[in-house]
Amino acid sequence: MSLSWSSPQIRDFHIAEREEDIGYYAGYVGSAFMFGRALTSVLWGMIADRYGRKPVILFGMIMLVIFNTLFGLSTNFWMAVSTRFLLGSLCGILGPMRAYASEICRKEYQALGMSIISTSWGIGLVIGPAVGGFLAQPAEKYPDIFSEESLFWRFPYLLPCLLISIFALGVSVLCCCLPETMHMHTKNKRELEDSRDQRASTTYGPDEEGSMQKKSEEKYPASQQSLLKNWPLMSSIIVYCVFQLHDMAYTEIFSLWAVSPRKYGGLNYTTTDVGEVLSITGFGLLFFQLFVYPVVERIFGPIMVSRIGAVLTIPLLSSYPFISMLSGLSLTLLVDCASILKNVLAVSITTGLFLLQNRAVSQKQRGAANGISMSAMSFSKAVGPAGGGSLFSWAQKRQNASFLPGGHMVFFILNLIEAIGLLMTFKPFLVEPAGDSIS
């Protein structure tokens, strides 16, 4: 959920006493989902490792249908927070989906598989707010279609939530056709081991056979059997969390910045204007991740792609306060281009770190590893919306400050977080897995 249309929702709840405080409360609504997911992601990962990826994905999709609809029916601030928290707690699909993508793709296609997961998440972050911007408060925006006696007048934010729930219901039906990679890989692995044992016993002597088994066991050393002691995994998760903290804060701040008045350094956009920007961003992101990222990753590797993305993000965000001084067509073009570039860079960083995490563990630990990653990332993302909303509200009150006034301070702090993440991608902190994790 984006602040682009949660801001009017918070305003309708009448909980914020001042206009500047809306971002503060909207941030907590966004954080509730991430906090709920942080508490349960490891559990869902363990369940996915034990019972398979498919049951967890199906259950999560059903919970999405239920609680997303209830969120659209929220009539006060605390109901909105509660439904978002429950949705985050019960919809643990992202970690198992990442494990699923790495298992169903051969090594040469893993970058493409992970980029599709990252793209889907990134497009959701931009298309979701776009849908909300276009369809929130339909009785006010489209009075010829929705009358004041309709359900959507009483619940002005139900329509976008309802459409997303209907889409999720369709996806749930399609998920029934997915093969179960956990059982499939276990069976294939067992057949492969039996075949190897038979060949080894007939071709090699006892000493050579024992040597081959020892080499096989050395692929995942004992230190990696405990996920918390697996430093290639844990270092990539920590770096991932820093970048996700930045990205979530940016996502929330961008929408607030776009709809805020010019006197506060914003663009004075309507929710429909923000929806148009995010729709264009979604299409650009889809094209890049499907056709460009896999090629770039093969040339530079996941770590270098993440570093390049972080380096380019810093000057890009520094330009945002100056973009707000423009108007007309030049403003529209620059905002669209900046939004596309920022989201492309962010998802490229995320995809590279996804690859490192899944290559650092064996297949039987992949669900739990992604669960740990999702829990840690969700704590960061829980801080992101609340921190971003509070930061933006504070910055709006210091428009006349002599040092980094208004929006300059907001984007400076975002750049500071990005710079910390960039430094952490270098040795000795971030360690690339010695060998790829191939099931």
DSSP letter string over 14-68? Answer: T--SSGGGHHHHHHHHHHHHHHHHHHHHHHHHHHHHHH-HHHHHHHHHHHHHHHH
Q: Which residues contact 376 (CB under 8 A, 6 or more apart)?
A: 38, 237, 238, 240, 241
Please state at what angle helix 231-259 crosses helix 328-359, rounded to 10 degrees: 160
Measured over the CA atoms of residue 292, residue 316, residue 428 and residue 371, the dihedral's sign is: negative
Six-digit token pair at 212? 């081959």
Which helix (H) or strand (E) segment holds residue 248: the answer is: helix 231-259
User: pTM for this structure?
Assistant: 0.71
On the CB side of 133, how many CA atoms lie within 13 Å of its CA? 24
Q: What gap in Å lies between CA 118 and CA 55, rounded to an integer?
A: 21
Q: How far apart are CA 267 and CA 253, in angstroms?
A: 12
111 three-state secondary structure: helix
Note down pLDDT in tens along the chain; length 439 residues. Answer: 444 456 667 777 878 777 666 766 777 787 788 889 889 999 998 999 888 899 999 999 999 999 999 999 998 889 999 999 999 999 988 888 888 887 888 777 777 777 777 777 766 766 776 677 778 888 888 888 888 888 888 888 889 899 999 999 999 999 888 888 875 544 544 554 555 455 444 444 445 444 444 444 444 554 445 888 889 999 999 999 999 899 988 988 898 899 888 888 889 988 778 878 887 887 888 788 778 888 888 899 889 999 999 999 999 999 999 999 998 899 999 999 999 999 899 988 988 888 888 888 887 888 888 889 888 888 887 787 778 878 888 888 888 888 888 889 999 999 999 999 999 999 889 988 765 443 3
Torsion of CA 359, 363, 365, 369, to 10 degrees: 40
For residue 187, give Cα distances in angstroms to 51, 181, 190, 259, 403: 14, 10, 5, 54, 63
Are 72 and 163 a contacting pair, CB within 8 Å? no
Nearest to 372 by CA among 94, 164, 90, 30: 94
- Asked if residue 66 lies in contact with residue 113, where contact means CB atoms within 8 angstroms, the answer is no
State the Cα–Cα distance between residues 127 and 278, nearest whole angstrom. 6
Sign of CA dihedral 295, 300, 303, 307: negative
Phi, then psi, of 227 in degrees rounded to 5 = -60, -35
Q: Is 117 left (phi over 0), alpha (psi -120 to 50) or beta?
A: alpha
